Amino acid sequence: MNEVLTALLGFAGGMVGGLLGVGGGILFVPALAIFQDQPQVEAEAASLLAIIPVAAVAAWRQHGYGNIRLRDGLLVGALSLPGVAIGVVVANAVSQRALELAFAALALAIAARLAIRALRPSPAEPERSP
Binding of another protein by 127 (CB under 8 A): yes
- Binding another protein by CB under 8 A: which of 1, 58, 95, 98? 58
Binding of another protein by 78 (CB under 8 A): yes
Rounded to 10°, the helix 40-65/2-20 angle is 50
Q: Which amino acid makes up residue 66?
A: G
CB of 1 to another protein, least distance (A): 13
Binding of another protein by 34 (CB under 8 A): no
Binding of another protein by 93 (CB under 8 A): no
CA angle, 17 then 4 then 33, to 5°: 65
The dihedral built from the CA positions of residue 28, 33, 37 and 38, taken in this order, carries a sign that is positive
Beta carbons within 10 angstroms of residue 10's beta carbon? 18
Residues 96-115 that bind another protein (CB under 8 A): 97, 99-101, 103-105, 107-108, 110-115
CB of 51 to another protein, least distance (A): 4
CB nearer another protein, residue 1 or residue 127 = 127
Q: 3-state SS of the chain: helix, strand, coil percent to 5?
A: 80, 0, 20
- Binding another protein by CB under 8 A: which of 1, 65, 95, 98? 65
Binding of another protein by 6 (CB under 8 A): yes
Asked if 46 and 38 touch (Cβ cutoff 8 Å), the reply is: yes
